[in-house]
Amino acid sequence: MNVDDVGLFSALKARMGWLSQRQKVVAENVANASTPGFKPKDLKTQDFASMMQGNAPSEGIGLSVTRAGHISTESPGQTKVRAVKSPDSETTLDGNSVVLEEQMIKMADSRMQFEAAIGFYQKSMDMLRTASKLPGR
């Protein structure tokens, strides 16, 4: 059995991937803090309702199929990451609207969420290891 077959692990993997992409986008925003006319970007937020309502496989989490041919699905739901323009609260005279303090808050928030996802992943693996041990060992 592959760990990715378990829904919790695949959801945590997708979440960590999204958070990793968000860190890259925020780092790009910080790198362009002095670029005239640069508008900061952020990723479209993930929420459960939008994942459940996704019609295309790339928009939703996909369906669990218990029997082959029961429900036709093109491919398992892999969420695509798209950057959206997210202007911060201030714009300088040169048109740059990156506020470093707001970007640092986004980076810290992403880091904390990533660490929480890693914690859930590790605890779930520990539970699987405990459940798979032979009694008395």
What total number of domains does the chain contain? Answer: 1
Residue 54 lies in a domain: no
Mean pLDDT is lowest, of 66-70, 76-80, 88-92, for 76-80
Written as six digits, the tokens of 108 are 């810290």
Using one digit for the tens of pLDDT, what is the confidence trace for 44-57? 877 666 655 654 44
The percent of residues above 70 in pLDDT, for the chain, comes to: 66
Report pLDDT digits (tens) over 86-113.
666 788 888 888 999 999 999 999 999 9
Structural domain includes residue 37: yes
| 24 assigned to some structural domain | yes
- Read off the amino acid at residue 108: A
- Is the overall model pTM greater than 0.75, yes or no? no
Better-predicted residue by pLDDT, 31 or 14? 31
Distances (CA, A) of 35 to 45, 72, 82: 26, 48, 22
Q: What is the domain range of residue 28?
A: 3-44+82-132
Q: Is residue 68 part of a domain?
A: no
- Residue 74 located in a structural domain: no
List the structure tokens of 86.
Answer: 């997210």
In a domain, 97, yes or no: yes
- pLDDT at site 11: 85
Residue 72 in domain: no
Q: Is residue 128 part of a domain?
A: yes
